[in-house]
A and B are shown apart, each in its own frame.
Chain A
Amino acid sequence: MSAASLTSFGALHRLNAIVSFLLIAAAWQLVAVSGAVPAKYFPDIPAIASAFWSMLTSGELPGAELRTLTRALTGLAGASILGVGLAVLSDLSPVFRRGFAPVAALIQPIPPAALVPMAVFMLGLGPSLYAFIIILVTVWPPYFNGVAALAGVLGEQIRSGQMMALGRWQMLWQIKLPAALPEIFAGIRYASTISLIAVVVAEMLAGHDGLGFLLIRKAFAIRIPEVYALMFVCALNGILMTALIGLLRWQLTGWHMRMTEQPA
């Protein structure tokens, strides 16, 4: 891929993101000004912006943001590798597929908050607790999308692989995984949003730093504009994460995106 197309992809994404963000802020401001809810509980954008600025200059926000993002990215990487690995394993071994599918369906709807006392007991309050909560909720989209995508690889593609006398691994590596990548990335993209949620929730439940911890702190100190400023930061993280995934995806599956005439 050319460097120019990559830059234009980035610029376009940034522009759309800025417009989107401004639209949301405008909608928020409209509700705030309409007076449907007392301003004390639904402050307007200038108040939220100044709260944001004060947290930014005091240094508490950059530190928390950095920790939360690092955790989300690490968690997402781990969950994606694990999820896709499980999907591949399911594709290779029918016994594993039949056994693990119901286990996955059983674990998936369990809310992390319901497991926290047990998890704290087993894992303590350190990084392993975060890892557990994040992976528990984040691993499913890459896994389910992966299984569905690998199962949906077209027969012609598989037969052409068979004609080339590819072995099991070669077939997986050269035919199935590339064909499944676009759908797997859709799963990873959804996983990236829930990994951000999971990190913030984990920081709320047991933590001493990060955005989630800061959210609870500010809520319990009745600093409402700062709570909303933090929520806007959470929202912006969604864009940041998607941009990162988009770049990675462009690198890996640019052929598919070009074919469907989609720059982003």
Chain B
Amino acid sequence: MKAGLGKGAASGLIVPVAILLAWQALAWRAGTPLFPGPWQVALSIWKLWPVIVGQIGYTLMRAFAGFVVAAVLMIPLGILLGRLKTVGRLVEPMMDMLATLPPPAVVPIVMLFAGTGDIAKIVIIAYAAAVPLIMNTYEASKGLHVMANQVARSLRLTRLETMLHIDLPASLPMIATGLRLAIASALLVSVTSEMLLATNGIGVFIQRQQENFQIAGGLAAIAFISVIGLIINNLVFQLEKRWLFWHYRSSESHSDG
């Protein structure tokens, strides 16, 4: 980030504030509890935050576990598949097939093997988070410039060394995008899985609010999820900037965190 930070932050507020005002105007025109505005949502947050904070822990723990499982398995697998081209080409359509199954259709199958507890939900979350991770990693590692290969060959690197020293760093920017998509996906599916296979967590809370027509209460819970998503997203962006500075320095400076 350059100088003029204050001015930058102020101009950055224009879009969000405009959106909030438009939303409030729409809600005011609708005039029904089914379409609350940001003001009603803020009131609900004030009223309900102890309950929401109590429930959100379960959701976040499962989302985190599912995300970690997906990241640990899928990033190495994606790089591997990108290198082993024949296998990669064979597995690629398989990824496309497994990726398009909607969670409500996957849940019953997972339930048959993993029951209705935490494990089942973590499996579903990991499944959803795996898709952007493996796709981005695979694309990145497959699409590496031929030059990178030739460099590796002239340095007489082994296959494993090539993956570790050439492929991984060169794929990192795209993996980072995959990580960000996967985090959002893990959060989203952790709520969905709680709505479909519910015992506790924020998904259950949202559903209960909806069934009782407390739409503002449901949105208050979503606001918490959203803000957590934003914070994690910013963290990842900061890490990206620190570790991938070479990628960002090569172009003009950006600061969209």
Contacts and interface: CB of A to CB of B under 8 A. Distances in A.
Q: Do A and B touch, yes or no (CB under 8 Å, in the complex)?
A: yes
Contact of A106 (B13, B218, B226): B226
Contacts of B229: 105-106, 108-109
Interface in A111-133: 111, 113-115, 117-118, 121-122
A189 to B, nearest CB: 7
A196 interface: yes
A190 B100 contact: no
Interface string A236-256: 111101100000000000001
Interface in A152-198: 152-155, 158, 182-183, 186-187, 189-190, 193, 196-197
Interface string A93-105: 0111111111101
Interface stretch (B69-77, B91-99, B159-167): B91-99
A92 interface: no
B234 A110 contact: no
A237 B93 CA distance: 11
B227 interface: yes
Contact residue range for chain B?
35 or more
B184 interface: yes
B195 to A, nearest CB: 6
B222 interface: yes
A16 interface: yes
Interface string B228-254: 111001100000000000011011101
Contacts of A111: 188-189, 191-192, 195, 203
A152 B146 CA distance: 19
Interface string B1-33: 000000011011111100100000010001010
A151 B131 CA distance: 24
Contacts of B11: 94-95, 98-99
Given A110-B222, A234-B101, A16 B90 contact: yes
Contacts of A262: 85, 142-143
A94 B254 CA distance: 9
Contact residue range for chain A?
35 or more
Nearest to B234: A105
Contacts of B173: 148, 152
B89 A154 contact: no
Contacts, number: 231
B133 to A, nearest CB: 10
Nearest to A19: B90
A23 interface: yes
Interface string A58-77: 00000000000000000000
Contacts of B187: 109
Contact of A231 (B30, B101, B250): B101
A79 interface: no
A36 B113 CA distance: 8
Contacts of B100: 193, 196-197, 234-235, 237-238, 241
B112 A234 contact: no
25 contacts: A16-B89, A16-B92, A16-B93, A20-B97, A23-B94, A42-B109, A94-B8, A99-B13, A102-B16, A103-B16, A109-B226, A110-B225, A111-B203, A113-B191, A117-B215, A140-B184, A144-B181, A148-B176, A153-B251, A155-B251, A193-B100, A196-B102, A227-B108, A235-B98, A238-B99
Given A97-B254, A237-B100, 19 more contacts: A13-B93, A24-B94, A103-B15, A106-B226, A108-B229, A109-B184, A111-B189, A114-B195, A118-B219, A158-B251, A182-B139, A186-B135, A193-B100, A197-B101, A234-B100, A235-B100, A256-B143, A260-B144, A264-B92
Task: Give me the 7 closest cross-chain CB pairs, A-B, nearest first.
Answer: A99-B15, A98-B12, A238-B100, A235-B97, A109-B187, A109-B229, A20-B93
Interface of B: 8-9, 11-16, 19, 26, 30, 32, 34-35, 85, 89-94, 96-105, 108-109, 112-113, 131-132, 135-136, 139-140, 142-146, 173-174, 176-177, 180-181, 183-184, 187-189, 191-192, 195, 203, 206, 210, 213, 215, 218-219, 222, 225-230, 233-234, 247-248, 250-252, 254-257
